[in-house]
Amino acid sequence: MTHRTILTIFSIIISINCFAQFSDQKTVDLTFEGVSTVDIQHQKGDLLVSKSPDGKAHVLAKISATASTQEKLDEGMSGLDIITKQVGANLGVSTLVDAEKCTETTESRGFFNRLFGSGNRTVTMKLNDISIDLEVQLPDVERLDVKNNYEEIRIQVPANRLIVAGFQSKVFLESTSKEAKLNLKYSELEYQDLGEADIVMFQSEADGGKLADVELNMKYSTFRADELQDLHGEMFQSKIYSKSAKDIDLNMKYSHLEDLETAGEVELLSFQSSASIDRLDKLTLNSSKYSDYRIDAVKELICEDVFQDKYRIGRADEIDATMKYTTIRCGRLEKSADISAFQGGMTVEMVSDVFEHLELEGKYFKLELPLGNRKFGIEADAKYLELDWMKDGERKSVNGSSIFTHDSMDSTVPSIELSGFQLKVDLL
């Protein structure tokens, strides 16, 4: 046998020893009675909370791991377990990973370290591929509190009050809870229906069905729902998608409310944000800056303090706006508009037969309102006014400072009131 052959065999033996793996597995099967509140803290594996077959609480776990030596495996496995504690009707379940038994410390010292008595300490796991899969079978409970990091959480049991905290987790809520409090970081959530919900999200995503009353605090996140009853909260660099909502009250920064088909009343504080809504009863913007809105149909639009916004509206019944450097484009104005503006413009493409009144108080503002040949009344008190309108098929114009009344200002015809400085008004 040559030296090369001996070295090759020796290398193979060393490689086999280096990569040799010893594995072990143990199970937990515990039963509890009279449980109505449950606290679960879990790690190192998936968590399933399922329906109990007999009205009792069952804790089932499968614990497994591998190690490079049998000695490390035996000591490490002795540090892995499920800890349970029942006090009255409350059951606590937690995962034990004993750091002293599951880790080892090594020191490396070079010449300099040995000379001065210092070195590098390295802590490594004795075990590899630790897996603690936990299933907790429960009857319907009053409260369920679950915490999990890095793993999957699947909850199939209804709870009057559900509390979930997930960090880099995948959370599946497959049952309906009357009240839920969810705190998610770097996580994904899939849910069916929830009653009242308090949801905090950071770099997370949620997708689901119906929610009754939601308090939502989002950063760098995306939230999707089929139907919302009442939604309140704050958004920062986030997105909300929903088909319908009854009432919405949001503070949005660099955020988007998208693809909302129908809504009741929507109230927003908005900064560099956008909203896209097909139909709603009332939109109130208490403060909006540098934002963009697309609305197909709104009964009442109220803009209390808007700055450099853009509005694209298909149809509006009533508009009441105080705005600066803002433009409104409205396809059809049904009833009335009351505008107080500084540098901007409003373009109306069509006016309905039931249109009643428009009042404009502005500076450096342009208004287009196509009244055509219909009869209407005007009162104007403005400096540097450019006004064009039709009367009896003939174009009329006013240029310069004007205080005048045109035709009657009675309730039987639409009325226009203009006041301000450098207004350009086209009523043709």
Q: Would you give per-residue pLDDT tens digits along the chain (428 residues)?
A: 555 544 444 444 444 444 458 899 999 999 999 999 999 999 989 999 999 999 999 999 999 988 888 888 888 888 899 999 999 999 999 999 887 888 766 555 554 555 555 555 554 667 778 889 999 999 999 999 999 989 999 999 989 999 999 999 999 999 888 899 999 999 999 998 888 999 999 999 999 988 889 999 999 999 999 999 999 999 999 999 999 999 999 999 999 999 899 999 999 999 999 999 999 999 999 999 999 999 999 999 999 999 999 999 999 999 999 999 999 999 999 999 999 999 999 999 999 999 999 999 999 999 999 998 888 888 888 889 999 988 878 888 888 776 666 665 566 789 999 999 999 999 98
Work out the end-to-end distance of the chain between its first and last CA atoms, rounded to an integer number of angstroms.
107
Domain that holds residue 85: 20-39+56-134
pLDDT of residue 1: 56
Whole-angstrom distance, CA of residue 187 vs CA of residue 52: 27
E-strand ranges in 150-221 read 152-155, 159-167, 170-173, 177-185, 188-191, 194-202, 205-219
Give the containing element (helix H, strand E) for 87: strand 80-87
What DSSP character marks residue 428?
Answer: -
Domain boundary among 83, 111, 134: 134
Asked if residue 242 belongs to a domain, the reply is: no
* The total number of structural domains that make up the chain: 2
Domain boundary among 112, 134, 156: 134
CB 192 within 8 A of CB 175: yes
Whole-angstrom distance, CA of residue 178 vs CA of residue 402: 64
Domain boundary among 118, 134, 150: 134
pLDDT of residue 374: 86
Asked if residue 397 belongs to a domain, the reply is: yes
Asked if residue 400 belongs to a domain, the reply is: yes
Pairing of strands 80-87, 90-97: antiparallel
Asked if residue 75 belongs to a domain, the reply is: yes
Give the list of residues 6+ apart from residue 116 with CB closer than 8 angstroms, or none.
none
Longest Cα–Cα distance of the chain, Å, equals: 120
Residue corresponding to tokens 């139907």: 227
Whole-angstrom distance, CA of residue 385 vs CA of residue 248: 40
Whole-angstrom distance, CA of residue 161 vs CA of residue 428: 62
Asked if residue 164 belongs to a domain, the reply is: no
Burial class (CB in 10 A: 0-12, 13-18, 19+), 411: exposed
Give the containing element (helix H, strand E) for 72: helix 70-77
pLDDT of residue 20: 53
Q: What are phi and psi for residue 128, nearest 5 degrees?
A: -120, 155
pLDDT of residue 110: 53
Asked if residue 78 belongs to a domain, the reply is: yes
pLDDT of residue 18: 46
Tokens at 172, concatenated: 């599946």
Give the residues across from 200 on adjacent strands: 183, 217
What DSSP character marks residue 192?
Answer: S
